Each structure stands twice: as structure tokens, then as C-alpha cells.
Structure 1
Amino acid sequence: MQIYISGSLAFDRIMSFPDKFSNHILPDKLHIINVSFLVDGLDEKFGGTGGNIAYNLALLGEKPILLSQVGKDFALYDSWLQQHGITVEGIRTVEQEFTASAYITTDQSDNQITGFNPGAMKYPSQYDFSKIDASEALGIISPGNMGDMVDHAKFYRDNGIPFIFDPGQQIPAFSGEQLAECFKGAEILITNDYELEMVLKATGMSKDEVLDSVAYLITTLGEKGATVNCQGEETSIASIPVDTVVDPTGAGDAFRSGLLKGLAMDKTVAEAAKLGSVCAAYAIEYKGTQEHSFTMDEFIKRYEDSFGPMI
């Protein structure tokens, strides 16, 4: 089974401000705000939904193809992906742009100020879909270029390729009609519980109506695990105990990777979601979305400690 990942590749540039923003912002001057924060250095992490999912799938022994776009500053990320056996054949380089990047400053109260530059993500990936063998393909469409999210969903739907639609932070960018059209015919629509409410509000659909449009609805619930819904039948998936909750940022993408791995192994959706739960636990234990690692033996043991034999 060849897995195709549509989603962003981005640099996360993370800064810590050793004070509180509130001590440096004058409430009565917000209409002419002009502030400067001296930070304690900068950490650069590899991220983006597509990159995070691909990284975890590589740990799980898969060789996914990323359908994404990057800029002229991609060399370090390129090397990182190839170091982990991830092909860059489906990635378009837009030479006049920078790779998408988030600039995140966090103060001592965990308040954040974030600036996001989409950079190359403004352009479509332009992947040659004639290369895809529909009988051996599985796709996931995660937040990235809006045109790609629409076009890739249509291609998978028109060619009978099972796909997961994962709208995430791009939900507000779509009209309700566009959103409903994107996930129509998907094997799985996956969101967290807050995002699901956003989808229902944007489309005007009920949960039952969404389930008339997709085969499965998966809702992740943080430390409470996840639910898998199929035509009114709901299955709860437990979360996995973790040593320390360090950073939940990449847990959702890791969950999607485990889910895809399970589907590639021909497991049921509920069984595959259990692999997602295990994969998410590793991500939570490290700061950054691609900082954790594991062997398949370690992964299987952790799975079996919680769910029993991984057949």
C-alpha cells in the first residue's frame, strides 16, 4: 500500500520571552501598539502537518510520498527527511519563496504571539497524479494549500481511492459548501472535538448527516482518547499512559500516522485508531513534533501493554 500525504511542510521557529507580555503592553494604547520583546534565543524545529505525519510513518516502517511545496531555504529539512528515508519526489520547490514558517513567542504565563508566513504554501503542489496506482493507494489530506485540499480530494473520490480528510486549522478558510464537498466520499473525516463543532457549524450539518457523507468519523479527545463513529455505532479508543506530558503539539499528527499504518496493515478503522493512540503518546513526551523516536519492537510492546496482542 502506497500512502500519499497532502499537507504542509514548515519551519517552527520558537522563542521564549522571560517575562509576561502583559507587563509590556499598555491596554489604553492598543490602537497604536508598538512593542519589542527581547527573547532568550531561538529554536528551529521541523514541522508542518505533512512533514509530521511523514516522519511518524517513517518510524513505523512506511515510505510515504509527500505532496507539498517548499521554498529556497529547504535544504536542512530536505536532508532531515531523506535521512529518515522519506522521499522528496512529490515536493515542489518554489525558488522565489521561503518555506512556510511559524514564528512563535511564548511568555512566562504560556501566552503566545505567533506569526505565520505561508511562503511556498501559497502555490499548488502540482503533483503528477498519473503516477498513482489507484488499486494500491491510500491518501490523507491534511492542512496545507487550499487548492490542493480541494483538488486532491476530488481526485481520490473520482478514482475510488480511499482517503482521510483532515481539515484542521484550515477549517475557517473554507466556506461550508466547500468543506462539505471536500470530505464527501472520504473513508474518514478526522478532527478533534473543537474542530468537529466548527465543521458542523460551518456546513450546517448534523453529526448524522456528516456520517451519511463519510464512512467513518474519528474525533480525537486529547487525554480522553478518541471516538470512532460509523453510522451511529461509536467505539471509544483509550489514550496511552505517558511518562511525562511535555508537549502535546504534534500528538494529532502522530495519531494520524498510526491510523494510516493500521489501515495499510488492513486493520479495521477502530483497530487502526489504537495504533494512532500509541503513536501519539510518543509525540507528547518530547518538545517538538519530530523529536521523538522508537523502534517497531518498542512500539509493538507499548501497544500490547495497553491493548493486548497486535495481530
Structure 2
Amino acid sequence: ADPSQQMARMDGKDIAQLIEGATYLFMNEYESSLIEKKVGWNTDELMKRVGTVVTTLGAKGARVQSKNEVIATVACPPETERIDPTGVGDSFRAGYLAAYSWGLKPERCAQVGSMLATYVIETVGTQEYFFKNEEFVSRFENFYGKEPAAEIKPYLVK
């Protein structure tokens, strides 16, 4: 589930119906606070109802947790310049889900999502970013290391 910006306009009952039973819930810190405020579920109560929660933490990266266990907390690569945050959350989810479709573990998925989000914040517009796959892997390696980069490389560089 990804209630995103719609959550601000939804009541607690609708939010609960949308996210209860989700295999994955993607949200940011603000959306997490809305769930607690509007639905009344704290983190423990939320984790009883959702398989895995992926929370973006802005410049601090992302946290992935499942059944009250933090699976991974990943840092966000530094941007060359911060131009436009529009679409950063969407790009994080796109990167996360791409890596998930490759069969990678949650930590690596969050790293791919964070790297893609970094490209987006460096560009005006939500879909105007551009990179060569080799460049993505190189930049990924510079921040996350050789082993993580080796895991994603087969999916990006042929």
C-alpha cells in the first residue's frame, strides 16, 4: 500500500481499510504520524497489521521493518546539489520495487531506491533525471561499497 499524499484527505477508517493486511506499506515520517493520529495505531499496532513497512526518512535515508524488527536502515547518498524534491518519494519506491523484482534483499532494495531518489532531487522535474547504468553502479559503489554494487550490477550493466 502507498497511501501517500491522499492520507491527508482521508479519515482514519479509510486509511485503516487501505493499509490493513498490506504485504508492504510505503510511507514517509509525516505519513507515519498521520496514521498514528488519524487511525490511532502506534508502530507496534501497525506492525501487527502489515507485513513490511518501508519508511523514508528524507536526507537520512530509509528504514525497513517487519514485525517489530528493523531489517535495514540505509543512508541516502549525498546529492551533488539539491534542486527539486518533487517526485523523490515516487522514485524511491520505483527503485525499491525494481530491486525487489530482481530478488534482492530489503537492504539492497532500499539502497537502490535511495540512489534513484538522489538522482531525482538533483534535477528539475519528476522524470527528467538521466543516468547511464554504468554511472549509477559506480556512484552506488562509491557510497555503498563493492559488494552491494556487485549485487545490482548484473541487472543494470550487461
TM-score (norm 2): 0.87
**Following TM superposition, by how much is the alpha carbon of 1:269 offset from its aligned partner in structure 2, in angstroms?**
1.9
- Superposed CA RMSD in Å reads 1.3
Structure 1 residue ranges without an equivalent (≥5): 1-164
Superposition misfits of 4+ residues, deviation over 3 angstroms: none
Identical columns (%): 37
Q: Which of the numbers 16, 41, 49 marks the counterpart of 1:205?
A: 41
Answer whether contact 2:54 2:65 (CA < 8 A) is retained: yes
**Following TM superposition, by how much is the alpha carbon of 1:175 offset from its aligned partner in structure 2, in angstroms?**
2.3
What is aligned with 1:54?
none
What is aligned with 1:167?
3
Structure 2 residue ranges without an equivalent (≥5): 152-158
What is aligned with 1:73?
none
One-letter code of the match for 1:294? F
Helix, strand or coil at the partner of 1:170: helix
Helix, strand or coil at the partner of 2:48: helix
If you compute each CA radius of gyration, which structure gives the higher value, 1 or 2?
1
Higher-helix-fraction structure: 2
Helix, strand or coil at the partner of 1:190: strand
- In structure 2, what is the Cα distance between the partners aligned to 1:271 and 1:176? 32
What is aligned with 1:275?
112
Helix, strand or coil at the partner of 1:213: coil
- In structure 2, what is the Cα distance between the partners aligned to 1:175 and 1:167? 12
**Following TM superposition, by how much is the alpha carbon of 1:249 offset from its aligned partner in structure 2, in angstroms?**
1.5
Q: Which of the numbers 135, 140, 147 marks the counterpart of 1:298?
A: 135
What is aligned with 1:81?
none
What is aligned with 1:223?
59
**Following TM superposition, by how much is the alpha carbon of 1:173 offset from its aligned partner in structure 2, in angstroms?**
2.7
Answer whether contact 2:3 2:18 (CA < 8 A) is retained: no
- State yes or no: 1:191 paired with 2:52: no
Alignment of 1:216-295 (within 5 A): 216-234=52-70, 235-295=72-132
One-letter code of the match for 1:180? A
TM-score (norm 1): 0.46
- In structure 2, what is the Cα distance between the partners aligned to 1:303 and 1:251? 17
- In structure 2, what is the Cα distance between the partners aligned to 1:298 and 1:257? 18
One-letter code of the match for 1:275? V
Equivalent residue pairs, number: 147
Alignment of 1:1-311 (within 5 A): 165-234=1-70, 235-308=72-145, 309=147, 310=149, 311=151
- In structure 1, what is the Cα distance between the partners aligned to 2:9 and 2:81? 35
- In structure 2, what is the Cα distance between the partners aligned to 1:182 and 1:203? 11
- In structure 1, what is the Cα distance between the partners aligned to 2:8 and 2:82? 29
**Following TM superposition, by how much is the alpha carbon of 1:276 offset from its aligned partner in structure 2, in angstroms?**
0.3
